[in-house]
Amino acid sequence: MTGGVFWLERRPGERVVALTGSPNVGKSTLFNALTGLRQHTGNWPGKTVTGATGRHVRHGQDYLLADLPGTYSLLAKSPEEAAARDLLCFGGADAAVVVCDAGALERSLGLVLQVLEVQPRTVVCVNLMDEARKNGLEVDLDGLSARLGVPVVGTSAGRREGLEPLMAAVEAVIEGRVELHPASAEYPAAVETAAALVEEAVGETGLPGKWVALSLLEGDPGLMDSMKAALGRDLRAEKEVAAALTEAGQGLERAELTGPAFQEAVAAAQIRRGAELARETVKGLGGGPKWGRKLDRLLTGRFTSVPAMLALLALVFWITIAGAQVPSDLLSEALFWVQDRLTDLFVYLGAPDWLHDALVLGAYRTLAWVTAVMLPPMAIFFPLFTLLEDLGYLPRVAFLLDHAFQKAGSCGKQALTM
C-alpha cells in the first residue's frame, strides 16, 4: 500500500501517531501538551482542510503526531471528517490515539469502536479525568481496556497529567509489546453474513478485512475513491468482489438493510455497544443510565424524535427572543443616551455638522444598534447551544436530519447552522 496523497511525510526512523476524537474532548489541548512549540499547521496532503502536525521526543525516539480534524464518525459527511478518515485509514500511521471525554464517555466509544476496526494498533486516551472526578464519576480504565482489547490511559491534558503513561502505551503498542484484541460491535446477523462474504472475496489488501468489506457494502463514493487511490486497485470492478457484493446486497435487501438503513444499522450497533461499555465501566452515575436510556429513546425514537427536536429547538428560539427583549431595550436606552451626550459634546465644541453626522449618527449609531440588537440574543443563544452540546443532543440532531440533508447535497451537521 503506497498511501498516495494520504501519506504523511516522515523523517528517517520517525514514528507517526494519528490523534483523533470527537470535538470538545480536549484533543488539541493534548496535542499541544505533547508537542509544545514543535508544531506545523497547514493543509492536509491532497485536502483543503487545515490540520496540524507536531513532534514529540521520548527516550531519543522521534514521534510525528498528526492532530486530525474532530469527527463524530468515520462515516464521513464533511471534508473534515473525510480528511480524518483518509489520513487515519490510509496515511501510514504506526498507531492511533483516540481521545475521549471521561465525563461523557458513552459519546466517544462509538468512534473508538470504528477506529479499532481500521487501526488495531490503537491507544484509548480518556481525557478530562479531573473534570469527571469533580462530577463524581470514576472510570474503570483497566476494565475498559479489558473489554476493548487495547490499552486505555487516563489523562488530564490541561494539567499535563498522564502524558508519560500515554506515550509509554503508544510506544508499547508500536513495538508489539502489548497483546491486542480489538473489540468490535455486534452487527445484525444479515450485516455480519454480508461482510464475511465480501471479505472472503476481497482477500488481502493490507487493511483490516472486515472494515474493507463494510466500506464496500456502504459504497460511499468518497471513501471508494480514497480506497482506490490508496490501494492502487478498484475493488468494486474486480469480478469476484462484484459478484460477492451482488450476493451480499441481495441478502441485505431481504433483511431490509439497504441504503441508509444499512448505515443506520451499523452506526446503531456501534453506539449501542459503546453505551454498554460506558455503563459497565463508569461509576457514580447512580440511576442516571436507566433514566438516560428512557430519555434517549424519546429523543431518537422513530415517532418521537422529530416532534421532540422541533419542540426543543422552538423552546431555545423562544427563550432567545423573549429573554433578549428586556436587556436589548435597556442596552438600547443606555447606548442612545450616550449618543445624545456625544451630540451635546459636539455642539459644545462647535464641531461641523458633517463631522457630527459621520462619527455620531454614522459610526456610533450603527455600532449602538448592532450591539443592542445582537449582543443579548447571542449571550443567551450560545450558552443554550453549548448546554445542548454538553448533553450530547446536537450530534443526535445531526444524526436525525442527516438523511434529509443528504438529499440536498449536504450533511446533518449543517442543520445546526441552518
Give Cα separations from 109 to 191, 334, 336, 374 (angstroms).
21, 50, 52, 38
Residue 318 lies in a domain: yes
68, 51 in Cβ contact below 8 A?
Answer: yes
User: What stretches in the chain show pLDDT beneath 50?
Assistant: 1-5, 41-48, 286-289
- Both 76 and 161 in one domain: the answer is yes
CATH number at residue 95: 3.40.50.300
Give Cα separations from 257 to 22, 235, 249, 266, 307 (angstroms).
27, 22, 9, 10, 25
Q: What residues make up the domain containing 149?
A: 4-174
State which of 253, 286, 319 marks the end of a domain: 286
CA distance 186 to 198: 17
- Both 24 and 78 in one domain: the answer is yes
Give Cα separations from 81 to 47, 63, 70, 222, 365 (angstroms).
11, 23, 7, 11, 43
Residue 182 lies in a domain: no
CA distance 411 to 75: 11
CATH number at residue 258: 1.10.287
Position of cell 459504497? Answer: 219
pTM score:
0.70
- Both 13 and 143 in one domain: the answer is yes
DSSP state letter for 162? S
State which of 174, 208, 241 marks the end of a domain: 174
Residue 415 lies in a domain: no
Residue 380 lies in a domain: yes
CA distance 236 to 355: 71
- Both 48 and 142 in one domain: the answer is yes
- Both 158 and 202 in one domain: the answer is no
- Both 118 and 218 in one domain: the answer is no
Residue 205 lies in a domain: yes
- Both 152 and 32 in one domain: the answer is yes
155, 129 in Cβ contact below 8 A?
Answer: yes
State which of 286, 314, 331 marks the end of a domain: 286
- Both 76 and 104 in one domain: the answer is yes
Residue 412 lies in a domain: no
328, 335 in Cβ contact below 8 A?
Answer: no
CA distance 328 to 322: 10
Residue 418 lies in a domain: no
Residue 414 Cα to chain centre, angstroms: 14
- Both 162 and 21 in one domain: the answer is yes
> What pLDDT does residue 287 have?
41
- Phi and psi at 325, nearest 5°, equal -65, -50
CA distance 234 to 32: 39
- Both 153 and 23 in one domain: the answer is yes
18, 93 in Cβ contact below 8 A?
Answer: yes
Residue 321 lies in a domain: yes
CA distance 387 to 315: 14
> What pLDDT does residue 30 have?
92
- Both 151 and 55 in one domain: the answer is yes
> What pLDDT does residue 103 have?
86
**First and final C-alpha spacing in the chain:** 41
- Both 147 and 193 in one domain: the answer is no
Give Cα separations from 80 to 87, 130, 235, 314, 401 (angstroms).
11, 29, 25, 29, 19
- How many domains, in total, are found in the chain? 3
**CB neighbour list of residue 56: distance below 8 Å, 6 or more residues apart:** 34, 35, 38, 62, 63, 65, 167
Q: Let me know how long the chain is.
A: 418
